[in-house]
Amino acid sequence: MRITRAGWAIMTLFSTLIALLAARYAGFDPEAFFTEQRATYLAHELPLGVHISGAAVALAVGPWQFSDRLRRRSPRWHRRLGVTYLLGCLVGGIGALLLAPVAYGGVAARLGFAWLGLAWLITGGIGLRMILQRRIDDHRRWMVRSFALTFAAVTLRLMLVAVKVADLDFHTSYAVIAWLCWIPNLAVAWWFTRLRPARR
C-alpha cells in the first residue's frame, strides 16, 4: 500500500496532534478528562497511564513507518522505529484491555473498546511474526492494518467533535463511536492491502 505525500502529511499531522493531546492525560489532571469519564479515570490511573503512554508513542511513531525515503536511506532507523512502534502498541493495547471494562457508554462501548484493544495486539503480533520470518510483503500488510487501529485514536476524537457540533445524545453516540472509530479504519486498510499488495 503506497500513500501520497499529501496523505502522509495529513496522517502525520493528525497523529502527532492527537498524541500530544493524549499526553495531557499522563499528568492525571482532572480538568484534562472529559466530564463523563473523569471519576473512572481518577480511580484507574495506573491502567490509564499504561494505555496513554503506549498509545501516544505508537501514534507519534507510526506514520514514519510509511516513509519510503526513511526505509530506503536508513533501514536501521526503520527497524528501530518499528520496534518502538510495536512496543507502544503492546503497552497501549494492554492498557486498553484493562480500561475497557470500565469505559463510559455501557456494555456496548466496553465491548467495542475491548475488541479494538484485542485486534490492535493481534495485528501487531502478526506483523512482528511476519518480519521475523522475512515475509516482507505480509509484514507490510499487517503493519498497515495495525496502524489503521492505532489511528482509531484520531477518528474517535474527530467523531466526538462531530457529536458535539450536531448536539447528539452523548451516551448513545459514545457507544456507537466505540465501534465506528476502528472498524471502518480496519476495513479500508484490509481492502487496500488485499487489492494492492506491497512491493518486495
Question: Residue 163: left if φ>0, alpha if ψ -120 to 50, beta else—which one?
Answer: alpha
Compute the mean pLDDT over every residue in the chain, rounded to the nearest whole number.
89
Note the pLDDT tens digit of each residue in 23-72: 777 777 777 677 777 777 778 888 888 999 999 999 999 999 988 888 88
Q: Which three cell numbers stand for residue 198?
A: 506491497
In the chain, the percentage of residues whose pLDDT exceeds 70 is 94
Give the lowest-confidence range in 76-80, 115-119, 194-198.
194-198
pLDDT of residue 1: 55
What average pLDDT does the segment 164-177 reach? Answer: 92
What pTM did the predictor assign? 0.89
Give the span between the Cα atoms of 144 and 163, in whole angstroms: 28
pLDDT of residue 99: 93
Who's near 105: CB < 8 A, 6+ residues apart? 171, 174, 175, 178
pLDDT of residue 200: 43
Note the pLDDT tens digit of each residue in 95-135: 999 999 999 989 999 999 999 999 999 999 999 999 999 99
